[in-house]
Structure 1
C-alpha cells in the first residue's frame, strides 16, 4: 500500500531534486495511490425513466459483442493489429483529453492469461513497449499459483483469501497481472463507458473473463456490472503520467484490515501486483491488506472505507477508537521529534525504538519502513553506524514490499548504506 503521508515525512530529508513535487519519480509514487482518486458514485448513476431501455440496450450489446469478438478472431489472421489480437474498438475524440479511447486486447498475453486495456492510441503504444509485453521472461513466476492461499466465503466478508500453510515474513502470496486496465476519465456517460468496458471483458480468454465477472460489486445493477466490479476491486496504475484503473481478479480476494498481515505494491513496467507477508500467518488465517492509510485517525479511516467501499470496519483497532487514536497521536509526536534536526532536538535512538514498538503494537509491520528509517538516522546521528546500517536495510526491505524498488525512499536508504559515515546525518547529534 502506498501512503502519501508516510512518504511526505521524509521529503524534507531528500535532496532538492527529489523533494520537488515536480519530480517524475515523486509524482509516480503519489499517483500509485489509487485510494486518493476513488471512483465517484456519479459514474454509475442512470436516469430512472430510462433504466429499462438501458438494460435492453446492454442486453443486446452483450450478444453483439460476442459476435463482434468472434468475427474479430476470425479476421485476426487477415489483419495485423500490432501486439493486439483484436481490432481496437474506439470512441469518438473526447474533448477533455484530446484523443479517442480504444479497447486493446491481447488474448495471448502472459501464456494465454490475456489482458484488455482501454486507453488512448498513444498510451497503447507505451503499454506495448513495456517489458511485460516485450520480454516474455520478464513475467517468469507471475500469474502462477504460489500454493500459499485458498479462497473461502467468510460470514460478513464474502469471499476471502486464507493461508494454505504457515507463512513467514517476506513470503510471496500472489503476483498477478490485471484482466482489465482502463483510462481514468469522466467524460463518457455511464452507458457508453459500460459498452466499451464490456467489449474489453468479452475479448478475454474464458478463464480470465469468468474470474473477472465472479468478483464482488457494490450496487448490484446488472446494466453496469463491469463498472460496478471496477468500483469494488480497482487499484490505480500510472502509465505515461496518466492514471489508469486496474482490476486483478485473484488479488481482489484480499479483504481489508487496519492491521494487515500482508503488504502490496504495483510494478508499472511489469503491470504486476505483488503481495508479500509482513508478519507470521498461521494456516487457515485470513490474509489481509489495508485499503486506506492505517495511520489516519479512526473516524477518517471509517469515512474513507464507507465512501470508497461502502462498508464499516469493525476490526479491533476501529473498535478501540480511543486507544487507537491516542497511539496515532503518540506516533505523530515521536515522528515530529525525530524529524527535528535543530540544536535543541530531542530526537534520539531511544525515541526511534519507542516508535518501532508503537507501530508493532498497532499491527503495522507492513509500514515499518518509516520508524526503521527514523531509527537508521537516529543511530547514525550519534555515530552508531552499525545499527544505522541495520535499520536502513530493514527499511529497504519494507519499501520493496510497499512501494517497489523505484520509489525515491529507496534512494534515501541506499545512500546511507553506501557509506554511513559520509552521510549527512552522521554525528549530527550528541549521544
Structure 2
C-alpha cells in the first residue's frame, strides 16, 4: 500500500474522536500520522496550526463574499476560509492549483452534478485523470440506465430497510438493525460523493480552498451529507480535510489511488469482531457491505477499522493513534485469551499450509482435526468476515486426503466467504477466482489431490 504524504498542520486541542471512522493510520517519524490499509485518509500533525510555508492558518482573515480567486472565479467564505461559489461553474474552466513539480501537473476541481440521479460527485484530480473519469462516469450512467429500464431502480444507492442510523451512547452516530438480518444479506451499496487525488498536493491553505470548492459544487443534500460526517480534530480551519481524513476509503481511478468519501458507509462504527464486511469496486465506483453473520434486532452493525487478525495490543495502538479512542470491545477486553486463540490459529495455518515438510510419520487424518479447529477458532473470535482462509485450508486438507466430497463442500464455503470479503469474481480477486477454478475443474484436478494420503 502506497503511503500518503499529505500533511495537514493542525493545532490539536482535543483527542476525542467519534468511533464512526473507517480507516487505519500509522505513525511514521517525520511524516506525522500517515495512512495504511485499504481505507486511507490524510495525516494530521499535532502541531501548531501552520500552513506548509510556516504562516499561521489560525488567524485567517475574513474574505468578502464578492472576492475572486486568481482564475477569476467568484469565491465566498466558510469558517473564515474562502471557497468557490457553486454558481456558473464549468469543468471547461475549473478551479486549479498551480503547477506541481512532483507530479508535473496540476490538480483541478471537477463536478458531475447529475451522477447517481442528481446525487452528484466532485473530483479533485489532474486534468488527464479527469478526462478518463468523465468517460467512466458516462459508462456507469449508461450501464445503470439499462438496469433501471429493466428493473425500475432509480439509483445504485441502497441501504437495507432494517438498518437505522441513530445516536449511540459514547459512540456518536452508528447503525443499528431494527429486525433480524440473516448472514450474507447485502446491507449497503453506495457510490462516493468526493474523489481526491492521493498525492502530496499544495499548501494546506490552498488545499482547503479547492476541497471546499469541490464540496460547494455538490447538490445541497449531498453537500450537507458530507459536511455532517464525523471529524477527528474539529478544527474549522481544515474542515474539509478533516472530514476526508476521518472518512475516506482508497479507490483507484485510472490506476491512480484516490481518496473516496462514501457518506452512508462512514456511519458504521468499529468492532474487532465485526458483523459486516465491505468491498470496493474501482470500476463501478461502489462500496458494498454484507452481513457476515446473523445480526439480531437492536444489535449495532459494525466493521473493523484495523486488521482484526492482529494482536490486541497492536489493534488498540492503531485505533488510539488513528482515532483517539481506546477499544473496549469484547476481544480487546479479554486480550490475553484473544491473543492465545489468535496464536493458535496462526500456528494451525502454518502447519496446514506446509506442503514441503516430510509428513510420513504424521497421521494424515490429524490434519482434518486441525482444519476443523481452525474454523472453530475463527468462529469463536467472531471473524466470519475473514473465515474464507480457514475454509480454504479445510478444502485443501480434505482434497489432499482424497475426500472430494468434503473438499468441494469447503471450497464452496470458501468461495462464498471470499465474495463477501473481496467481491465477485469480476473484480479480479485471486482469493475468489481460485475457488471458482477449483469447483469448475474438479477436486481431483487440483494439485493438492491425494497429496497427503497414506497408501
TM superposition score normalised by structure 1: 0.84
Q: How does 1:179-328 map to 2 (within 5 A)?
A: 179-328=193-342
CA contact (8 A) 2:196 2:260 kept: yes
Distance 2:230 2:211 in 1: 17
From 82, 97, 102, the equivalent of 2:108 is: 102
Shift of 1:408: 1.3
From 46, 49, 53, the equivalent of 1:46 is: 49
From 154, 171, 175, the equivalent of 2:185 is: 171
**Is 1:359 matched with 2:378?**
yes
Distance 1:296 1:67 in 2: 44
CA contact (8 A) 1:396 1:410 kept: yes
Shift of 1:133: 4.2
Q: Which runs of 5+ in 1 are unaligned?
A: 3-30
CA contact (8 A) 1:58 1:195 kept: no
**Is 1:68 matched with 2:85?**
yes
Q: 1:253 to 1:337 in 2, by over 3 A?
A: same
Q: Deviations over 1:33-54 (max 9, x none)?
A: 424x552213996329723443
Answer 1 or 2: which has greater strand percent.
2
Q: 1:366 to 1:68 in 2, by over 3 A?
A: same
**Is 1:378 matched with 2:397?**
yes
Shift of 1:55: 6.0
Distance 2:47 2:283 in 1: 31
Q: Which runs of 5+ in 2 are unaligned?
A: 2-34, 68-74
**Is 1:117 matched with 2:133?**
no
**Is 1:159 matched with 2:173?**
yes
CA contact (8 A) 1:90 1:102 kept: yes
Larger radius of gyration: 2
Q: 1:151 to 1:110 in 2, by over 3 A?
A: same
Match of 1:423 in 2: 446
CA contact (8 A) 2:394 2:407 kept: yes
CA contact (8 A) 1:148 1:167 kept: yes
Distance 1:343 1:52 in 2: 63
Match of 1:7 in 2: none
CA contact (8 A) 1:54 1:191 kept: no
CA contact (8 A) 2:83 2:210 kept: no
Distance 1:412 1:43 in 2: 45
**Is 1:413 matched with 2:408?**
no
Distance 1:58 1:184 in 2: 31
Deviates more, 1:228-237 or 1:37-46: 37-46
Q: 1:407 to 1:55 in 2, by over 3 A?
A: farther
Report the secondary structure of 1:56's partner residue.
Answer: coil
Match of 1:395 in 2: 414
TM superposition score normalised by structure 2: 0.80
Match of 1:24 in 2: none
Q: 1:302 to 1:38 in 2, by over 3 A?
A: farther
Shift of 1:306: 1.6
Once superposed, what is the RMSD of the aligned Cα atoms? 2.5
Report the secondary structure of 2:164's partner residue.
Answer: strand
Shift of 1:400: 1.4
Answer 1 or 2: which has greater helix percent.
1
CA contact (8 A) 1:172 1:275 kept: yes
Shift of 1:312: 1.3
Q: Deviations over 1:270-307 (max 9, x none)?
A: 11110110111112210000011101011111121122
